[in-house]
Amino acid sequence: MHLSQYRTSSGSIQVVARDGSEAYEVKSELSLYDLAMRALEEGLGLRDLVLSLGLNGAVNLEVLAAEGRLLPPVTHADPAHLHLTGTGLTHLGSASTRASMHAKKPEDETDSMKMFRMGVEGGKPGNGAAGVQPEWFYKGTGAALVAPGAPLVSPPFALDGGEEPEIAGIYVIAPDGAPVRLGFALANEFSDHVTERQNYLYLAHSKLRPCAIGPELLVGELPQSVEGTSRIRRGEEVIFEKPFLSGEANMSHTIANLEHHHFKYDIFRQPGDVHVHMFGTATLSFADGVQPRDGDVFEIEAAAFGLPLRNPLSFDPLGKAEPMTEVRPL
């Protein structure tokens, strides 16, 4: 089953379910977040709750996308209680691009390559114990979550604005503090790779950008291998197109290991919170020398996730002076 959300003409949120080719409104006025909390309360799976509520008339998700009415598949009424995080160097082949950014000499083994090697050697433990911890990064709260079709805005001080096609796990924290996965969604973990390339310690800065997920949430387990395509459209022209691979068959860590090393921290197990945790990628247009421009459209698609994720880039010109942020004493 795939679940998505759109904004109705009255301004409310409507959940849509697709269990095949047709999409239908769920017979409920609850958001997907509220449905998830209700499922926890009633001891039901999310799919079972949706089916028990029933479905209304069919909707056309592509039309809703064209009208700009699609929402992220999960939101929180208070964006401060939605956390955007992720892991890097988790995919086979993901280390070479990162290492090339930071190696002083071709023969140097960078910290990125060391971290990747640690994942290959210990990211998939077979004894049920925790494996080696991955690289981890923070992107922000729900205030940085962009709807499908909405612009990904690169701030005036940015040096670059580039896509990262990824899979994200979507979670809510149950009343007892246990993390519960709702499903998986496509993600564009939008980053500033030029800033990151200056110094590895700037990675944290480079990740503090908006991101997009969706449009559809895949309920259930992630396929072992996910095959997708990442492209950039400039007007009528496709200026970049490349396949990407995800799923555990193409990763150096298990999903369970990545989840453990995020949710092992008490601060990330606060009841009622939402977590969007991105699992990394090995495909970047930046690695091929592509420089996205204002108005370019990022497009990420994979058959398992239904509708593609599309977002235009809104980017201030490079070289603009960085404005000072005034801090006013009280």
317 versus 86: the higher-pLDDT residue is: 86
How sure is the predictor about 234, in pLDDT bands with cuts at 50, 70 and 90? very high
pLDDT at 180: 98
pLDDT at 182 over 80: yes
- Taking CA atoms, 176 is separated from 41, 42, 43, 182, in Å, by 11, 14, 13, 16
pLDDT at 55: 96
DSSP 133: P
Contact 16, 53 (CB under 8 A): no
Contact 173, 37 (CB under 8 A): no
Residues sharing a CB contact under 8 Å with residue 107, sequence separation 6 or more, in sequence order: none
How sure is the predictor about 132, in pLDDT bands with cuts at 50, 70 and 90? confident
Q: Report the range of poorest mean pLDDT among 65-74, 90-99, 265-274, 316-325.
A: 90-99
pLDDT at 41: 97
What number is the average pLDDT over the span 96-109?
Answer: 55
What number is the average pLDDT over the span 22-41?
Answer: 97
Look up residue 248 and give its amino acid: E
How sure is the predictor about 93, in pLDDT bands with cuts at 50, 70 and 90? low
pLDDT at 140 over 80: yes
What number is the average pLDDT over the span 231-239?
Answer: 97
How sure is the predictor about 117, in pLDDT bands with cuts at 50, 70 and 90? confident
Helices (H), 151-190: none
Helices (H), 137-242: 193-198, 203-207
pLDDT at 90 over 90: no
pLDDT at 121: 82
How sure is the predictor about 286, in pLDDT bands with cuts at 50, 70 and 90? very high
pLDDT at 239 over 80: yes
Strands 55-59 and 152-154: unpaired
Contact 269, 173 (CB under 8 A): yes
pLDDT at 313: 97
pLDDT tens digits for 290-327? 999 999 999 999 999 999 999 999 987 655 667 788 99
Strand order in the sheet with 309-315: 152-154, 309-315, 297-302, 226-234, 237-246
